[in-house]
Amino acid sequence: NCLVALTHFCEDHGPSVVMCTQAVRLSGLPVAKGGSCLDGTTISSALPGGPASLTSTKCPACRSMPPNTLAMYTADWQGDLLLVSSQHPAAPNQLYSQLRQACLRVHSCEVCPTGAMYFGDDAGGGGGGCHVFASPFQLDDVKARGLSSQFSVLALSRDGRMLLQSWPWLVNRSAEIIAGLRDAAAAQFSAEQSAGCSARAARINGSGWVRMRRSDVPARSLAQLTSDPSVYRRLHACFARLLRGWQREELAPGRPTEDQLALNSVLCLAEEDEDSADDGIRTVVPTPTKLVGGGDGGGSSGLGGEGVQLPVLSAVFHSLRHLRERLHQAPPACQSIDNFSLLLHHLLTGNQIVFRTSLPELAKSFFTLLRCLLPSNCSQELLNWQRYEEPYRCNLLGLTADTRLPDWIAADGEGHPMLLLDCRPDASALAAQAFIPVDDLDLVVTTNRPARPAAQLIGQIDSLLGDPVLPEESLDLLLANAKEDWLERARQTYAFMQAHRRQFSDGQVTAFLSSLGCQRADEIVLKFWTRGISGLTRREIIKSCRQ
């Protein structure tokens, strides 16, 4: 799907590919661990293009492989990848033509003053679309025209979005490679200049200088320009690291998420004021003088008597799927909607969720799972609290088992919508057993306001968690993607409100929501999620609206 290459403008052959590195699946290839170099009989037959793909030219300036060596490789056993560097791609039918076209364009018609450039499209020639990142550079050469040789680092991908999202990372990594080559070439250039008269002065004076290189004198290779015989091995190591980091989790492509921007702003404030009591952690866990729990709160044990073992606190919700399954087992709080969808409704719309229990670790695991579904700025959490706090202070509230709720909350469903989950373990059962699974604990769900028509995001999350064949790793990625998708819609909503500071009719609101792929039931979710937009993004939106 992608490869990295070094290209060169040869004075004899024009634009040419010097070396390219690509990834091949390691499974099934006869490669011994610890290898670094191979000849044509080791694994060339197992590559996609076969032995014919590993070809090399005789021109020193266009050749990268040492004599009797067709390719170099690095085996990434953990990632099941074989990173192969050769003269040309191992799949010549498609990749060779695309790489050749990119090489011609970089060294002939494509020019960018800033150095790095991008070109390509999804419907390009050569057997399909191709997107190219190119970073041209020059190396000092006393025997070349203009006293410099032209090179370029290319990165080809069929996924243009991935290429552009990785742009800053590719620019930085290629700049490191180019800087190393330039330093080595400059040192060699200075050494050759000090050994004789200045090549530039000799060319200006015209004494002892032939305008064209003699045909019996071959062009100089990159190893000669840098005075480093192992320069291609070093390039293979750099390209392999670049390609492996590009395809794996070593890079974080694209614009930072709103959660990352919010965390960065908190860290910046903490650095500016080291004496501030706010360390950026939203979870508040008080340290009571005694363990609190059921009953009247007296005594030395909060679990109903002395001798109760603390390992019972290890009863936790292990995943969102586990939480969903456990809520489905509890008696329904509403007849029209299941408990988990009701929980999602209150969570995603900003209503307060209260979890009352004598097991602090259980409440902590519950809110940790819920926070994964919300932007970081949309969650205010208090854990193991001994008094009720109103929603403006926290929307995720963990109360001790003996904490009572005010009487007015049950009757004020419009002003203070809330979902209450009660988990009161039997004290005698806890005293008899060191550990009770969560599934054996009684869980009661109540609410003072039945759910309104369900938003799309509720059904989207519930369907993902209800898919039994979806692996946990894929589930995490899909949930994160859904959160970022709705955060983008919230950004669009915030920009719309900033650009048009006035009251809108129902028809205008419906038309705007329809343009985002949303319905009227999603409006309350979007308004609440605008709180998740970081301060940096808000300033950018306001600035663009004022221009």
Instruction: Tell me the domain boundaries of the chain.
Output: 2-29+42-196+220-247, 320-452, 461-546
Mean pLDDT computed over every residue of the chain: 76
User: How many C-beta atoms surround the C-beta of residue 429 within 10 A?
Assistant: 13
Q: What pLDDT does residue 57 have?
A: 60
pLDDT in tens, 499-519: 877 777 888 888 999 999 999
Q: What is the pLDDT of residue 270?
A: 52
pTM equals: 0.53
Q: pLDDT tens-digit profile of 259-281?
A: 777 776 665 555 445 444 433 33
**CA-to-CA dists, residue 171 to 98, 114, 134, 409, 539, angstroms:** 21, 11, 9, 57, 27
Q: Does residue 337 register a pLDDT over 50?
A: yes
Dist CA 437 CA 312 (whole Å)? 9
What's the pLDDT score for residue 368? 92
* Interatomic CA distance for residues 356 and 368, integer angstroms: 15
What is the tens place of the pLDDT at every residue in 102-120?
888 888 887 776 678 888 8
**pLDDT of amino acid 52:** 45
Sign of CA dihedral 460, 465, 467, 469: positive
Evaluate if residue 483 carries a pLDDT over 50. yes
Query: What is the pLDDT averaged over residues 460-485?
Result: 90
Give residue 253's pLDDT: 47
In percent, the amount of the chain with pLDDT more than 90 equals 22
Strands (E), 342-433: 352-357, 381-385, 396-399, 418-423
Q: Does residue 292 surpass a pLDDT of 50?
A: no
162 versus 232: the higher-pLDDT residue is 232
| pLDDT given at position 302 | 36
CATH class of 320-452: alpha beta
- Point out the least confidently predicted range of 199-208, 240-249, 391-400: 199-208
Most trustworthy range by pLDDT among 7-21, 54-68, 137-151, 337-351:
337-351
513: its two tokens: 């929501």
Q: Return the pLDDT at 370.
A: 94
